[in-house]
Amino acid sequence: MKNFLKLMLAASLLSLLGCVSAGGTLVKAGSSIPVFDMQVTTSLDWAKQRWGRFEIWTIDGGLLNELAIFSKVKPNENVFLGRRETKSRPDGVWYKPGLRQDELRDLILDGLRRQGLANVESSNLRPASVSGATGIRFDTKFTTAQGLNYGGTIMALERNERLTIFMWDAPLEYYHGRDVASVNKLLDSVKFVK
Amino acid sequence: MKSPFFNATALTLLSFVTCCVQAENAKPGDVTPIAAGYRPTLKTDESELWYIYDKIEINVKESPRLIRDPALNAYVRDVTCKITGDYCKDLRIYILDVPYFNAMMAPNGMMVVWSGALLRMQNEAELALVLGHEFGHYKNRHQLSQWRKAKKDSAFLATFGMITAGTGIDMAASLIGFANMAKFSRDKEREADKVGFEMLSRNGYDPFVGAQLWDRMLREEKVITYGKPLPVFASHPKAQERRDDLMAAAQALPNPGKKLDAEHYRSITETFLEKWLDDEISRRLFSTSLQALADMEPGYPSSKKGLFTFYRAEVYRRRNHDGDRAMSAKLYREAIGEEGAPASAWREHGLALKSANSRAEAIDALEKYLSLAPHADDMTFIDQNLKELRTTP
């Protein structure tokens, strides 16, 4: 997500640097908070910013750790929101309900590649189940155009023909190792409440 | 992929060029072919153009897309040296992992070849032609005359915008791509084609490969019914005309060479075949990938048949239009009976059978996959599928 959300990040970083005064919110470690139609518990402190069906959470700034949450992605919509499928764009990373779990992973990985990330890899694909909604969780690695190596974890859940994605990444140097267990615990805590 | 930092750097460099260099009297046409060992005189517009590309080259060297495999790099360099002779020492070749057909030449001697081009080439003769064509741009200093023309043009600021905007592929690749997107004129492309063709034929390569390569690219272009043209066509207009010119030139040769060196080419590039095919289908340009696969397969021995059938199946499955699932299931079944099918073909065959409710067969196929890929990173996912097949009534 390093570049896909650059514009939004630029705006958000300003607000995050300024103590999240421009609509951002602090999430305290140990709190359980609503996120769209879900409830999430975190053992880390985060600053978060929301745009429509999309939220970004970060601890140290978007380049050092970033949890992107995409909510209720609709059929034929880009898996990372934004554009929709049209006749002139039939082969994009459009979400289609009922894809197999590995196909959903491939779609998300293709979406990352389309953002210009290099050496995109995944591992440890495993099933995920949240409040009756089924989905997947898998780990990723990629390199940004600037040559920084990132690792992360992605969870994608299908519910009522809508897709929810949690996408966390951090530089493999220090930050990924520091937070990977806590982030996975956060993902374990996700519950649909609406 | 845009890099604000780099765009700012490029813009600064370009501004420096426009304000400080002494080329007021130079005309776009005032360029002569470059000599081997040439370096531009300092404080000329050409030296500043080289300076910009020297800076870009630093980024290319550090690009995460740079393929550093020693054998592949040595091979491409050897072919370059074979055809360019004394100029070889002036050229630096970078192979970038970008799954589109393209190659580019910078005025300072930096040559870039994308992996999508290497995937599509079928022999050394085709590689020599492409490298020779790019060298033709260098030898005839096309970028310099292009640069001078752009600066005299009222659209210069628009060119600024193009150079600094990025292509969405990758910072290094995008900047070079944009340099090329200031399209060369038809005459300059023809001139580069002539250089490439001359080098091809002089070195005993089969001169008909030029027309054959363009035929394949044109077939890919024709199946695209939407979106932007492929990079190679964005920067190379009048493809059909150029293909015809190459064919006519080959036919006019009294004793055309026969050298293809296909086996040698494959022996070097085969290491990357599966990786490049994965990248190819990840572009999600499904119709062109199907065409490319159909064109590539005859260039490989039958030991790769199962691999190509598998990737055709993968394209249909990912495209997922009406009828594509059935087609992919059919092709997976074919692939597992053919030589060279990867372990993944058994996985996909098994999952297709599961969807068709052919449980016993699906279990066999998935178990076969796990036996062929005992350390598969999707083992948990496959185990879950096996469990469902064994327990769900």
Task: Give strand pairing partners of A137.
Answer: A126, A155
H helices then E strands: how many in chain B? 20, 3
Same domain? For B142 and B280 the reply is: no
Compute mean pLDDT per 10 residues along chain B, 393 residues long, and list them.
33 38 53 93 92 92 95 98 97 96 94 97 97 96 85 56 42 49 72 94 97 94 75 64 93 96 97 97 94 96 97 95 95 98 97 96 98 93 94 78
Given this structure, which CATH class describes domain A4-192? alpha beta
Q: Is A90 on the interface with B (CB under 8 A)?
A: yes
Contacts for A171 with CB less than 8 Å, ≥ 6 apart: A63, A64, A148, A149, A150, A151
Same domain? For B274 and B254 the reply is: no
pLDDT at position B152 is: 72
* Structural domain span for residue B376: 263-391
Helix axes B171-181, B156-165, angle to 10 degrees: 150
| pTM of the predicted structure, to 2 decimals | 0.86
Same domain? For B15 and B77 the reply is: yes
pLDDT at position B292 is: 97
Closest-approach residue (CA) in chain B for A113: B282
Looking at the predicted structure, is the pLDDT value of residue A19 above 50? no
Share of chain A above pLDDT 70, in %: 87
Would B1 be classed as within a structural domain? no
Looking at the predicted structure, is the pLDDT value of residue A17 above 80? no
A contacts of B366 (beta carbons < 8 Å): none
Same domain? For B142 and B284 the reply is: no
Same domain? For B288 and B197 the reply is: no
Closest-approach residue (CA) in chain A for B352: A100
Q: Is A98 on the interface with B (CB under 8 A)?
A: no
Same domain? For B216 and B107 the reply is: yes
Is A123:A131 a contact under the CB 8 Å cutoff? no
Q: What is the dihedral sign for C-alpha B38, B42, B48, B53?
A: positive
Let me know the angle formed at the C-alpha of A97 by A93 and A98, rounded to the nearest 5 degrees.
115
In a mutational test of the B interface, the residue from A125, A136, A154, A155 whose CB has the highest number of chain B CBs within 10 Å is A125
A52-64 mean pLDDT: 95
pLDDT at position B100 is: 93
Same domain? For B109 and B254 the reply is: yes
Same domain? For B167 and B223 the reply is: yes
Query: Of the candidates B235, B260, B285, which is a domain's last residue?
Result: B260
Same domain? For B299 and B228 the reply is: no
**A132: its two tokens:** 């009756």
Q: In this predicted structure, which of A31-40, A86-95, B223-232 has the lowest mean pLDDT? A: B223-232
In a mutational test of the A interface, the residue from B328, B355, B381, B392 whose CB has the highest number of chain A CBs within 10 Å is B381
Same domain? For B207 and B69 the reply is: yes
Query: Of the candidates B209, B243, B260, which is a domain's last residue?
Result: B260
Burial A144-175 (b: 16+ CB within 10 A, else e): bbbeeebbbbbbbbbbeebbbbbbbbbbbeeb
CATH number of domain containing B350: 1.25.40.10
Task: Provide the domain count of chain B.
Answer: 2
Same domain? For B218 and B366 the reply is: no
Contacts for B210 with CB less than 8 Å, ≥ 6 apart: B129, B193, B196, B197, B200, B243, B246, B247, B249, B250
Chain A: closest CA distance from residue B328 (Å): 14
Closest partner CB to A116 (pick from B1, B4, B282): B1
pLDDT at position B161 is: 45
**B377: its two tokens:** 């990173």
Size of interface A-B (CB pairs under 8 A): 74
Closest partner CB to B286 (pick from A91, A93, A127): A91
Query: Of the candidates B260, B279, B310, which is a domain's last residue?
Result: B260
Same domain? For B194 and B308 the reply is: no
3-state helix, strand, coil in chain A (%, to 5): 20, 45, 35
Enumerate chain B positions whose Cβ falls within 8 A of a Cβ in A: 1-4, 62-65, 97, 168-172, 226-227, 282, 284-287, 317-321, 351, 377-378, 380-381, 384
Would B2 be classed as within a structural domain? no
Contact B171 A145 (CB under 8 A): yes
Task: Give strand pairing partners of A25.
Answer: A48
Would B207 be classed as within a structural domain? yes
Would B17 be classed as within a structural domain? yes
Contacts for B158 with CB less than 8 Å, ≥ 6 apart: none
